[in-house]
Amino acid sequence: MSEEPSAILPPRSVLDAFGVSGTPEPLAGGQGRSVRVGGAVLKPAEGAEGEWEWAASVFERLPRGAGFRAPRPLRSAAGCAVVEGWTAAEFVEGRPGPRGQWPGVVAAGRALHAALRTQPRPGFLDRRTHPWAVADRVAWGEQEADVVAELAEPLSALLALRRPVEAAAQLIHGDLTGNVLFAPGRDPAVIDFSPYWRPSLYAEAVERGPDGGWARP
């Protein structure tokens, strides 16, 4: 039986740069790459060039007490949001949904999207190459996909089902499921921001099951 690979831990130089101390503790969930160190969470800065500096500047300006919480990004003493390929943000308390918490997930998403409504479209969205970003652009008719022969027919059938969407696009969190934390007496906390430029209702629609009910209730 093979052993699970060890978690990637940030080096001491990164911890020192962000001014955090303590023993790194890998966190469950997500892609298993987040690490808690004291009151901070560190994770590798994957994504398009400039994405994490942009995200830090956006979340630094988000209002408090607007129906949701969001972890504040940490910067190094030099003012950088990325140090040696790592980012850091404050640790926020809460238990993850969505089981039994779908109304709260939806409410937190709506509050977040209201706060993001005036944000301009970031240019790096067109440069992202991870599978989720590529699939998103294909689904919205912004990019063609090269697929293996056995997938050509199912993909064509799916693309034929697309219909025009008239709702205005804005900056949204494209992966709310499992990324909203709940703590008694506090607003839900939205973590692991996945930026997309789509109608705000789309962020809710992708959480629904094929029968119209909430996925994974």
pLDDT reported for residue 6: 56
Q: In the predicted model, is pLDDT for residue 4 greater than 90?
A: no
DSSP-derived secondary structure letter, 13: H
- C-alpha to C-alpha distance for 44 and 34, rounded to whole angstroms: 8
- The mean pLDDT value for 31-53 works out to 89
Higher pLDDT, 18 or 1: 18
- C-alpha to C-alpha distance for 175 and 207, rounded to whole angstroms: 8
- C-alpha to C-alpha distance for 129 and 60, rounded to whole angstroms: 26
Q: In the predicted model, is pLDDT for residue 174 greater than 70?
A: yes
| pLDDT tens digit sequence for 52-62 | 999 999 999 99
Q: In the predicted model, is pLDDT for residue 215 greater than 70?
A: no
Q: In the predicted model, is pLDDT for residue 191 greater than 50?
A: yes
Q: In the predicted model, is pLDDT for residue 16 greater than 50?
A: yes
pTM: 0.86
DSSP letters for 132-179: HHHHHHHHTTSS-----HHHHHHHHHHHHT-----SPPEEEES--TT-
CA distances from 19 to 58, 73, 87, 90, 129 (A): 21, 13, 12, 12, 32
pLDDT reported for residue 29: 65
Residue 9 pLDDT class (50, 70, 90 cuts): very high
The angle at the Cα of 55, spanning 97 to 106, to the nearest 5 degrees, equals: 30
Residue 217 pLDDT class (50, 70, 90 cuts): very low
Which range in 45-59, 90-104, 161-175, 202-216 is most confidently predicted, on average pLDDT? 161-175
Asked whether the beta carbons of 105 and 207 are under 8 A apart, the reply is: yes
Q: In the predicted model, is pLDDT for residue 152 greater than 70?
A: yes
Find, among 41, 45, 52, 76, the residue nearest to 191 by Cα: 41
Find, among 134, 113, 128, 135, the residue nearest to 180 by Cα: 113
Q: In the predicted model, is pLDDT for residue 38 greater than 70?
A: yes
pLDDT reported for residue 185: 93
Asked whether the beta carbons of 98 and 216 are under 8 A apart, the reply is: yes
Asked whether the beta carbons of 80 and 57 are under 8 A apart, the reply is: no
Under 8 Å CB-to-CB from 179, ≥6 apart: which residues? Answer: 30, 96, 173, 190, 191, 192, 194
| pLDDT tens digit sequence for 90-144 | 999 999 877 888 899 999 999 999 999 999 999 999 999 999 999 999 999 999 9
pLDDT reported for residue 203: 93
pLDDT reported for residue 98: 78
Tokens 């949001």 identify what position?
A: 81
Find, among 97, 133, 107, 69, the residue nearest to 200 by Cα: 107
Q: Which two tokens stand for residue 92?
A: 């926020």
pLDDT reported for residue 213: 45
